[in-house]
Amino acid sequence: MCAYFYVVVDDVDAYYEEVQKRGGKPATEPKSQFYGLRSFGIQDSSGYRLLFYSPLVMENCGSCGMPLTDAEPGQVYCDYCTDDAGKLKSYEEVLEGTIQGYFMGMQKMERAEAEVAAKEYLAKMPAWNPDAC
């Protein structure tokens, strides 16, 4: 059996250093994740995995790449890519917004060209291609 426990800490890098100073042997070094957390892990002798993390302040939306000005720690998506409840919209909704708002509206592309460009662009975003991070 493998159980995971997630523990939020104020400063994951400082906590990592403290764990090492006290003789702990983290399984990983702190790493910034595309989904808005910086984390490292430890596995104890019973098979439990402890993941320590701190929320990151993201610079860009993980769905469309738009700058996240005034983002809260852990906020991953912009207002254009989330619904009223703060949940990520569907790919189709984000795609249509990217086609119309950015490629047609700002880049002045025709619809067919904008569709191709938007699909290529979104394929590089972590929300739609986790391997892109």
- Determine phi and psi for 109, rounding to 5 degrees: -85, 155
Structural domain contains residue 69: no
Q: When comparing pLDDT for 6 and 34, which is higher?
A: 6
pLDDT of residue 133: 52
Residues 90 and 125 reside in one and the same domain: yes
Q: What is the pLDDT of residues 10-36, one digit of tens each?
A: 999 999 999 999 999 999 999 988 788
Structural domain contains residue 64: no
Structural domain contains residue 70: no
pLDDT of residue 121: 96
| Confidence grade of residue 4 (pLDDT, cut at 50, 70, 90) | confident
Q: How far apart are CA 102 and CA 109, in angstroms?
A: 9
Average pLDDT, integer, range 74-80? 92
Q: Is the pLDDT of residue 42 over 60?
A: yes
Domain total in the chain = 2
What domain range is 101 assigned to? 79-132
Structural domain contains residue 89: yes
Whether the Cβ atoms of residue 68 and residue 62 lie closer than 8 Å to each other: no
Q: What is the DSSP letter of 74?
A: T
Structural domain contains residue 71: no
Tell if the pTM clears 0.75, that is, is over it.
no
Q: Is the pLDDT of residue 70 over 70?
A: yes
Within 10 A of 125 (CB to CB), how many other CB atoms are there? 21
Q: Is the pLDDT of residue 6 over 80?
A: yes
